[in-house]
Amino acid sequence: MKQKHALLWLCLAQIFIGVNVVSAKHLVTVLPVSFIIFLRFGISSVLLHSFCLIRGKSLAENSLGEKITLQDVFMICLQGLSGGVLYNFLVLTGLRYTDAATAGIISATTPAMIAFLSYWLLKETLSQRKIFTIIFAVLGIVCLHLSELGSHYAAYSLWGNLLVVASIFPEAMFTIIAKKHNTPIPAIVTATICNMANALFCLPIVLSMIPAILHAHLTLTDCLVIAAQISSGIGFYFGWYQGLPHVPASTAALVTAVAPISITLLAIIFLGERINILDSVGMILVLMSICYGAGLTPSVLRSRMKESA
């Protein structure tokens, strides 16, 4: 696959994140958060397992044809629960109180959290580039919090923002665990086991909510949004895994900047949200954090301009 086609797949995957967040903002007002999570991961599990069967991938074997150990399954499930149930629960609950655009911008600071946790837990070197990544991310979040002050719903918005900020930790832990437990297991197999673990974890909670779910009055719009929510989750996995093997890691990290932009635009178009000056400044700082994290620093830009000249 050509790199430009791979980049298109990665960008499409990030746009699906925008669809996911914006549709979730609507769904949290009509359905319990646990049921939304179960619905997403339950259907994704069935479809991903079907893809495994079609492509001849066994859930019991790694890429070398060796059996997957119980330790492998445990670590994959741990990845799934941290980056799946826990992350989604915090984000979806936060969306009850804050707007989708703000939540999307805050979520984009995950690379900075990964850099910090890699330094803290994995004892990786905290380079100047990573320090700037963290600083820009923190300043961006501060600007988003300051933009809420003075509004009638400031306390609710700040609580929602804090929940979304808290969700960055389990999302980053997904990558940290993957770094710590590096095994030759196909990505589609890992994704399938992760989704199954998330669905099974939510199942007991959902069973206790059956009476409330049966009494929920869903409109045609609600059903279409549910379809968009599920499709965007599957679309993200498909697009990301299609493009990721064909581009450098730094390029893939840079493409994540598409997510907060798509979330903001979709929130403005479909939810009627508005962003103020501080929101814009916060978004720019977060995008700068992503660029620095991907290695796109001013010195790199100058050297590339000289090469092109």
The reply to whether 169 falls in a domain is: yes
* Overall residue count recorded for the chain in this entry: 309
CA distance 248 to 244: 8
The reply to whether 199 falls in a domain is: yes
Which spans in 33-186 are helix H? 33-54, 70-80, 87-94, 100-107, 110-121, 128-148, 154-180
**Within 10 Å of residue 137's Cβ, how many Cβ atoms?**
27
User: Which parts of the chain have pLDDT scores under 50?
Assistant: none
Residue 101 is part of which domain span?
A: 3-303
Burial 159-183, CB ≥16 within 10 A → b, else e: bbbbbbbebbbbbbbbbbbeeeeeb
Yes or no: say if 92 and 25 are a contact pair by the CB < 8 Å rule.
Answer: no
- Which structure tokens are listed for 227? 């379809």
- Rounded mean pLDDT of the chain? 84
The reply to whether 124 falls in a domain is: yes
Yes or no: say if 31 and 216 are a contact pair by the CB < 8 Å rule.
Answer: yes
Q: Tell me the pLDDT tens digit for each residue of 233-286.
A: 778 877 876 787 777 766 776 787 788 888 888 998 998 888 888 888 888 888
The reply to whether 23 falls in a domain is: yes
Dihedral sign, Cα of residue 282, residue 285, residue 291, residue 293: negative
The reply to whether 68 falls in a domain is: yes
CA distance 213 to 226: 14
Residue 94's pLDDT is 93
- Which structure tokens are listed for 88? 């989604």
The reply to whether 211 falls in a domain is: yes
Residue 250's pLDDT is 62
CA distance 278 to 294: 24
Number of domains in the chain: 1
Q: Tell me the pLDDT tens digit for each residue of 28-53.
A: 988 889 899 998 889 888 988 998 99
Residue 224's pLDDT is 92
CA distance 2 to 160: 41
The reply to whether 308 falls in a domain is: no
Yes or no: say if 13 and 257 are a contact pair by the CB < 8 Å rule.
Answer: no
Residue 86's pLDDT is 92
CA distance 283 to 262: 12
**Within 10 Å of residue 263's Cβ, how many Cβ atoms?**
29
Q: Of 268, 289, 81, which Cα lies nearest the Cα of 90?
A: 81
Q: Of 217, 239, 190, 206, which Cα lies nearest the Cα of 40?
A: 206
Residue 225's pLDDT is 92
- Which structure tokens are listed for 244? 């990721």
**Within 10 Å of residue 232's Cβ, how many Cβ atoms?**
21
In DSSP terms, 67 is beta-bridged to: 61
The reply to whether 309 falls in a domain is: no
Yes or no: say if 27 and 229 are a contact pair by the CB < 8 Å rule.
Answer: yes
- Which structure tokens are listed for 228? 């968009």
CA distance 30 to 95: 13
